[in-house]
Amino acid sequence: MTQLKGHVSIVTGSTSGIGQAMAKALAKQGSNIVINGLGDQAKIEEERAQIAAEFGVQVKYHGADMTKPDEIADMVGFAKREFGRLDVLLNNAGVQFVSPIEEFPIDKWNQIIAINLSSAFHSIRAAVPIMKEQNRGRIINLASAHALVASPFKGAYVAAKHGVLGLTKTVALEVATHGITCNAICPGYVKTPLVESQIADTAKARGMTPDQVMKDVILAAQPTKKFVEFDEIAGLLVYLASDAGASVNGAGLAIDGGWTAA
Ligand code: NAD
């Protein structure tokens, strides 16, 4: 398991859920990691030390707030300063808010666009010169099935994720001759804290019980009637990050049990 030995990867929003699992998946392949995200500092330090010990790689934490362009650029510079290179940029940090459009709080709109869309612009903008210098790089945006299709009450999230896919395609065209690829992974529902809190919010917005939301809203969207697993996303991520993924560029790759086939 050393496909990425000696590589350096940044995973934004890796103190929870998918990002945490993806940081471990990249570390398992031998990549050094910059983890990032919000949370209790002692718990984050525990995670950092645990990944380093389990996979025998170097793991460093950068606390950039994904709403702050200067901090995002500093995080990318930190990877280069600490490790001398940057091979994989995984833009994963994301938040959700569910509300009918006419009541959608303006501050929530601004926050979701900043974290789920603009942060990817700022990190990519800072990473591309480093990757061009290396003549190699992998930019991977953790988008969503909501980059491809919509659901009601998720105006900001769906707009941001569609935007991320547009940004992915544009960057892919700009970097293609520099040994760099840019792709979006578009998962269906994965059972993480983000989805667990959505169950309660959706229940409120639609006047349903949490059980009805699980059955009739979440699993209704996924033909497999199963959540997407971390390992399934990790397999795609490692493929994209490896040499074998060199010709996949500008793609929005659905991993959603068939949701967006309908
Ligand atoms: P999560 O809530 O478990 O984790 C979100 C991560 O983002 C956390 O580490 C959090 O600290 C970080 N974060 C939030 N705001 C931040 C900020 N301002 N600055 C820095 N970090 C910040 O969520 P998750 O379900 O693991 O989601 C991860 C990504 O996957 C998101 O982009 C989400 O949209 C996407 N996604 C999730 C699902 C799903 O079903 N869970 C499906 C498709 C796509």
- Say yes or no: CB of residue 144 within 6 Å of ligand 1: yes
Assess whether pLDDT exceeds 90 at residue 193: no
Which pLDDT score, from 0 to 100, does residue 18 have?
98
Task: Kindly state the average pLDDT of the residues 150-169.
Answer: 98
**Token pair 């497999």 is at which residue?**
224
CATH of 8-188+229-255 given 2.150.10.10, 3.40.50.300, 3.40.50.720, 1.10.340.30: 3.40.50.720
Active site residue 189: no
pTM for the whole structure: 0.96
**Domains in the chain: boundaries:** 8-188+229-255, 191-227
Mutate which of 43, 119, 192 for ligand 1? The one with the most ligand atoms within 8 Å of its CB, which is: 192
Torsions phi, psi of 231, nearest 5? -60, -30
CA of 177 to the centre of ligand 1 (A): 31
Q: H-helix or E-strand containing 180?
A: strand 180-187
Assess whether pLDDT exceeds 90 at residue 81: yes
Task: Kindly state the average pLDDT of the residues 91-103.
Answer: 96
CA of 95 to the centre of ligand 1 (A): 5
The answer to whether residues 45 and 61 touch, using CB atoms and an 8 Å cutoff, is yes
- Say yes or no: CB of residue 257 within 6 Å of ligand 1: no
Assess whether pLDDT exceeds 90 at residue 247: yes
CA of 14 to the centre of ligand 1 (A): 8
For the chain, what is the mean pLDDT? Answer: 96
Q: How far apart are CA 74 and CA 119, in angstroms?
A: 12
Helices (H), 58-217: 69-83, 106-113, 119-134, 155-175, 193-206, 210-212
pLDDT digits (tens, 9 = 90+) for 24-46: 999 999 999 999 999 999 999 99
Q: One of 61, 157, 189, 239 is an active-site residue; which one?
A: 157
